[in-house]
Structure 1
Amino acid sequence: MKFAYKFSNLLGTVYRRGNLNFTPDGNSLISPVGNRISLFDLKNNKSETLPLATRYNIACVGLSPDGNLAILVDEEGAAVLVSLISKSVIHQFHFQKPVHSICFSPDGKKFVVTKDNVAMMYHAPGKKREFNAFVLDTTYYGAYDETTCIDWTDDSKCFAVGSKDMSTWVFGAERWANLIYYVLGGHKDAIVACFFEEKSLDIYTLSRDGALCIWQCDTELSGLKPRLSKDHSEDNGESAIDLDEELTEEQKGKEVHGKASTNDKGRTEKVKYSCAVKHFFNKEGDFNTLTAAAYHKKIHLLITGFASGIFHLHELPEFNLIHSLSISDQRIASISINSTGDWIAFGCAGLGQLLVWEWQSESYVLKQQGHFNSMVSLAYSPDGQYLVTGGHDGKVKVWNTTSGFCFVTFTEHSSSISAVTFTSSGYVILSASLDGTVRAFDLHRYRNFRTFTSPRPTQFSCLAVDSGGEIVSAGSQDSFEIFVWSVKSGRLLDVLAGHEGPISSLSFNPMKCVLASASWDKTVRLWDMLDSWRTKETLQLSSDVLAVAFRPDGKELAVASLDGQITFWDHENAMQTGSIVGRHDLQMGRKELDKITAKQAAKGKSFTTLCYSADGQCILAGGLSKFVCIYHVKEQILIKKFEISCNLSLDAMEEYLDRRKMTEFGSMALIDEGGGDDEGVAIPLPGVKRGDMSSRSFKPEIRVTCLSFSPTGRSWAATTTEGLLIYSLDAGLIFDPYDLEIDITPSNIRKVLLQKEFTKAIVMAFRLNEKKLIQEVLESVPYNEIEVISSSLPELYVEKLLEFLASSFEKSRHLEFYLIWTQKLLMLHGCKLKARSNKLLPTVQFLQRSIHRHFEDLSKLCDWNCYNMKYILSISQQRGIKRTAETSENDEDLVNLEDSSDDSLMEESAGVS
Structure 2
Amino acid sequence: MKFAYRFSNLLGAVYRQGNLSFSKDGNAVISPVGNRISVFDLKNNTSETLPVSTSKNITCVGVSPDGSVAIVVDEDGAALLVSLVTRAVLHHFHFHKPVNSIRFSPDGRKFVVTKDNVALMYHAPGKQRKFNAFVLDKSYYGPYDETTCIDWTDDSKCFVVGSKDMSTWVFGAERWANLIYYSLGGHKDMIVGCFFEKDSLDLYTVSQDGTLCVWESDTELDGLVLKKSRDKPELLKQREEGEEEEEEERLEGEEGEVIRGKAGPPKENTKNVRYKQRSKHFFNKEGDFNNLTTAAYHKPTHILVTGFASGIFHLHELPEFNLIHSLSISDQRIASVAINSSGDWIGFGCSGMGQLLVWEWQSESYVFKQQGHFNNMASLAYSPDGQYVATGGDDGKVKVWNTNSGLCFVTFTEHSSSVTNVTFTSSGFVIVSASLDGTVRAFDLHRYRNFRTFTSPRPAQFSTLAVDSSAELVCAGAQDSFEIFLWSMQTGRLLEVLGGHEGPVSCLCFSPVQSILASASWDRTVRLWDMLDSWQVKETLHLTSDGLSVTYRPDGQELAVTSLNGEISFWNSQNATQTGSIAGRHDLEMGRKETDKITAKQSAKGKSFTCVCYSADGESVLAGGQSKFVCIYNVKETMLMKKFEISCNLSFDAMEEFLDRRKMTEFGSLALVDEGAGDGDGVNISLPGVRKGDMSSRHFKPEIKVTSLRFSPTGRSWAATTTEGLLVYSLDGSIVFDPYDLDLDVTPASIRKQLRLQEWTSAIVLAFRLNEKALKLEVLETVPHEQIAVVCSSLPDIYVEKLLGFVALCLEKSGHLQFYMTWAQNLLMLHGQKLKNRSGALLPTLQALQKSIQIHFDNLSKLCDFNMYNIRYAEALSKQRGMKRAAASEEEEEEEEEEDDEGLSEGMSEASFEEAEMIL
Question: Shorter-normalised TM-score: what interval?
Answer: over 0.9
- The corresponding residue for 1:4 is 4
How many Å separate the matches in 1 of 2:407 and 2:618? 30
Deviation of 1:283 after TM superposition, in Å, equals 5.1
- The corresponding residue for 1:678 is none
- The code of the aligned residue for 1:434 comes to L
Deviation of 1:198 after TM superposition, in Å, equals 0.5
Deviation of 1:664 after TM superposition, in Å, equals 3.6
Q: 1:632 is matched with which residue: 624, 631, 634?
A: 634
Contact conserved, 1:427 with 1:444, CA < 8 A, in 2? Answer: yes
How many Å separate the matches in 1 of 2:364 and 2:3? 47
- The corresponding residue for 1:121 is 121
- The code of the aligned residue for 1:8 comes to S
- The corresponding residue for 1:139 is 139
TM alignment of 1:161-310, pairs within 5 A = 161-231=161-231, 256-257=249-250, 258-259=253-254, 265-266=265-266, 269-282=271-284, 288-310=290-312
* Cα deviations by residue, 1:349-374 (Å, 9 ceiling, x for unpaired): 00000001111111111100000000
| Cα gap change, 1:284 to 1:93, in 2 (>3 Å) | closer
Deviation of 1:663 after TM superposition, in Å, equals 2.6
* Cα deviations by residue, 1:203-254 (Å, 9 ceiling, x for unpaired): 1100000000010000000000001111299xxxxxxxxx9xx989996995
How many Å separate the matches in 2 of 1:445 and 1:518? 35
How many Å separate the matches in 1 of 2:749 and 2:426? 48
Look up the SS of the partner of 1:732 in the other structure. Answer: coil
> After the TM superposition, which of the residue ranges 488-497 and 875-884 deviates more from structure 2?
875-884
How many Å separate the matches in 1 of 2:376 and 2:683? 18
How many Å separate the matches in 1 of 2:241 and 2:519? 72
- The code of the aligned residue for 1:313 comes to L
- The corresponding residue for 1:907 is none
How many Å separate the matches in 1 of 2:135 and 2:239? 13
TM alignment of 1:564-579, pairs within 5 A = 564-579=566-581
How many Å separate the matches in 1 of 2:279 and 2:674? 42
TM-score (norm 1): 0.93
Deviation of 1:887 after TM superposition, in Å, equals 8.4
Deviation of 1:662 after TM superposition, in Å, equals 2.5
Contact conserved, 2:58 with 2:75, CA < 8 A, in 1? Answer: yes
- The code of the aligned residue for 1:757 comes to E
How many Å separate the matches in 2 of 1:250 and 1:205? 33
Q: 2:388 is matched with which residue: 386, 391, 394?
A: 386
- The corresponding residue for 1:903 is none
How many Å separate the matches in 2 of 1:460 and 1:510? 23
How many Å separate the matches in 1 of 2:846 and 2:136? 57
Contact conserved, 2:178 with 2:263, CA < 8 A, in 1? Answer: no
- The corresponding residue for 2:760 is 758
Contact conserved, 1:543 with 1:562, CA < 8 A, in 2? Answer: yes
Contact conserved, 1:684 with 1:691, CA < 8 A, in 2? Answer: no
- The corresponding residue for 2:421 is 419
Contact conserved, 1:397 with 1:406, CA < 8 A, in 2? Answer: yes
The answer for unaligned runs of 5 or more in structure 1 is: 234-242, 676-680, 900-913
Contact conserved, 1:522 with 1:545, CA < 8 A, in 2? Answer: yes
**Cα root mean square deviation, aligned:** 2.7
How many Å separate the matches in 1 of 2:287 and 2:607? 55
- The corresponding residue for 1:905 is none
| Cα gap change, 1:221 to 1:478, in 2 (>3 Å) | same
Deviation of 1:265 after TM superposition, in Å, equals 4.0
Deviation of 1:282 after TM superposition, in Å, equals 2.9
Contact conserved, 1:459 with 1:478, CA < 8 A, in 2? Answer: yes
| Cα gap change, 1:222 to 1:370, in 2 (>3 Å) | same
Deviation of 1:695 after TM superposition, in Å, equals 7.5
| Cα gap change, 1:663 to 1:253, in 2 (>3 Å) | farther
| Cα gap change, 1:882 to 1:683, in 2 (>3 Å) | farther
Deviation of 1:336 after TM superposition, in Å, equals 0.4
* Cα deviations by residue, 1:440-463 (Å, 9 ceiling, x for unpaired): 000001000000111111110000
> After the TM superposition, which of the residue ranges 646-655 and 808-817 deviates more from structure 2?
808-817
Look up the SS of the partner of 1:70 in the other structure. Answer: strand
Deviation of 1:796 after TM superposition, in Å, equals 1.0
Deviation of 1:793 after TM superposition, in Å, equals 0.9
How many Å separate the matches in 1 of 2:551 and 2:596? 33
- The corresponding residue for 2:905 is none
Contact conserved, 1:589 with 1:653, CA < 8 A, in 2? Answer: yes
| Cα gap change, 1:527 to 1:177, in 2 (>3 Å) | same
How many Å separate the matches in 1 of 2:111 and 2:604? 46
TM alignment of 1:386-785, pairs within 5 A = 386-670=388-672, 689-691=691-693, 694=696, 696=698, 698-785=700-787
- The code of the aligned residue for 1:842 comes to P
Deviation of 1:689 after TM superposition, in Å, equals 4.4
How many Å separate the matches in 2 of 1:68 and 1:797? 43
Deviation of 1:889 after TM superposition, in Å, equals 10
> After the TM superposition, which of the residue ranges 742-751 and 32-41 deviates more from structure 2?
742-751
Contact conserved, 1:9 with 1:48, CA < 8 A, in 2? Answer: yes
Contact conserved, 2:289 with 2:309, CA < 8 A, in 1? Answer: no
- The code of the aligned residue for 1:23 comes to S
How many Å separate the matches in 2 of 1:204 and 1:338? 19
How many Å separate the matches in 1 of 2:286 and 2:90? 52
How many Å separate the matches in 2 of 1:318 and 1:586? 62
- The code of the aligned residue for 1:603 comes to K
> After the TM superposition, which of the residue ranges 710-719 and 658-667 deviates more from structure 2?
658-667
How many Å separate the matches in 1 of 2:303 and 2:606? 58
Deviation of 1:821 after TM superposition, in Å, equals 1.1
| Cα gap change, 1:525 to 1:248, in 2 (>3 Å) | farther
How many Å separate the matches in 2 of 1:264 and 1:41? 52
Contact conserved, 1:791 with 1:828, CA < 8 A, in 2? Answer: yes
How many Å separate the matches in 2 of 1:440 and 1:896? 75
The answer for unaligned runs of 5 or more in structure 2 is: 902-920
Contact conserved, 2:289 with 2:310, CA < 8 A, in 1? Answer: no
Contact conserved, 1:682 with 1:696, CA < 8 A, in 2? Answer: no
- The code of the aligned residue for 1:36 comes to R
Deviation of 1:779 after TM superposition, in Å, equals 1.0
Contact conserved, 2:210 with 2:285, CA < 8 A, in 1? Answer: no
| Cα gap change, 1:617 to 1:468, in 2 (>3 Å) | same
> After the TM superposition, which of the residue ranges 508-517 and 282-291 deviates more from structure 2?
282-291
How many Å separate the matches in 2 of 1:850 and 1:752? 30
Contact conserved, 2:377 with 2:707, CA < 8 A, in 1? Answer: yes
Aligned length: 887
| Cα gap change, 1:180 to 1:96, in 2 (>3 Å) | same
Contact conserved, 2:632 with 2:643, CA < 8 A, in 1? Answer: yes
| Cα gap change, 1:156 to 1:511, in 2 (>3 Å) | same
- The corresponding residue for 1:240 is none
How many Å separate the matches in 2 of 1:339 and 1:692? 42
Contact conserved, 1:333 with 1:347, CA < 8 A, in 2? Answer: yes
Contact conserved, 1:683 with 1:698, CA < 8 A, in 2? Answer: no
- The corresponding residue for 2:23 is 23
How many Å separate the matches in 1 of 2:609 and 2:757? 58
How many Å separate the matches in 1 of 2:627 and 2:459? 34
How many Å separate the matches in 2 of 1:864 and 1:673? 66
- The code of the aligned residue for 2:218 comes to D
- The corresponding residue for 1:152 is 152
Contact conserved, 1:689 with 1:700, CA < 8 A, in 2? Answer: no
How many Å separate the matches in 2 of 1:176 and 1:682? 54
How many Å separate the matches in 2 of 1:324 and 1:463? 45
| Cα gap change, 1:757 to 1:539, in 2 (>3 Å) | same
* Cα deviations by residue, 1:124-178 (Å, 9 ceiling, x for unpaired): 0125442111111100010000000010000100000100000000000001000
Deviation of 1:872 after TM superposition, in Å, equals 3.1
| Cα gap change, 1:83 to 1:161, in 2 (>3 Å) | same
- The code of the aligned residue for 1:544 comes to D
- The corresponding residue for 1:855 is 857
How many Å separate the matches in 1 of 2:559 and 2:412? 32
How many Å separate the matches in 2 of 1:232 and 1:424? 85
